[in-house]
Amino acid sequence: MHNVLSRANALLAFTLWVMAAVTAACFLSTVFLDYTVPSQITVKDIKVRSIVDYATDDQQADLATLSFNLKVDFTRIFNWNVKQLFVYLVAEYKSKVNEVNQVVLWDRIVERGERVVMDEIGVKTKYYFLDDGTNLLKHDNVTFVLRYNVIPNAGYLRLVQSTNQIVVPFPTTYSTTRRS
């Protein structure tokens, strides 16, 4: 504290401590909140085709195409410790080969201050819904669920599942038409 350098050093260190304390208090004030919101998903136009795929062991895989409607309101999630949401639609199913299959079909980054109410109609999948084998045909228990990752300014990164989920049966015959 005797000369200007040591005073500047002490001041800088204390400022950083106070900033860290404020950030920690911000984290503590938001950590116990409930981040679950309901959503409405409807899935339609499911078609399954059999294609040759190099990433599958048998070189043959089922590819599903579909479109979906999504209605969800994230407004109440955004508080002062939420920087961004990463919203993604998951198809989850069990198959003969695998105990658990999870495929992300669509995702979107929702930042604070953006449009946080979603009402999407007829959205095509962003990623290929490709099985690890040929188990999608006649599958009657594929679950579609909306999940999101809450990314804070500082603190815990939580994964939340929206309260609603739907189970959709898949077609029983391969579609031969080209994907539009």
Partner 1 sequence: MDGMIAMLPAPLQKLSSHIDFQGQKVAERTYQVILTIAGIVGFFVGFWTQQLSYAIHIVMGASAFTALIILPPWPFLFRKNPIVWQVPTEEQEETSSASPPAESSAKKDDKKKKEPKKTK
Partner 2 sequence: MFSEIRQMNVRQLLYQCLNFAMVVSSALMIWKGMMVLTGSDSPVVVVLSGSMEPAFHRGDLLLLTNDHEDPVRVGDITVFKVEGREIPIVHRVIKVHEKNAEDTKILTKGDNNQVDDRGLYAPGQLWLSRSDVVGRTKGLLPYVGMVTIIMNDYPKLKYAVLAFLGLFVLLHKEN
Binding partner 1 by CB under 8 A: which of 68, 80, 156, 159? 80
151 binds partner 1 (CB under 8 A): no
Give the DSSP H/E element, type plus range, for residue 150: strand 142-152
31 binds partner 1 (CB under 8 A): no
Tell me the C-alpha distance between 41 and 84, whole Å: 22
**By the criterion CB under 8 A, which residues form the site for partner 2?**
54-55, 83-84, 86, 88, 90, 97-104, 107, 109, 111, 127, 132, 147, 149, 151-157, 159
117 binds partner 1 (CB under 8 A): no
14 binds partner 1 (CB under 8 A): yes
Tell me the C-alpha distance between 159 and 140, whole Å: 27
Give 31-63 as a 3 state SS string.
CCCCCCCCEEEEEEEEEEEEEECCCCCCCEEEE
The listed partner (partner 2, partner 1, none) that binds 54, CB under 5 to 8 Å by sort, is partner 2
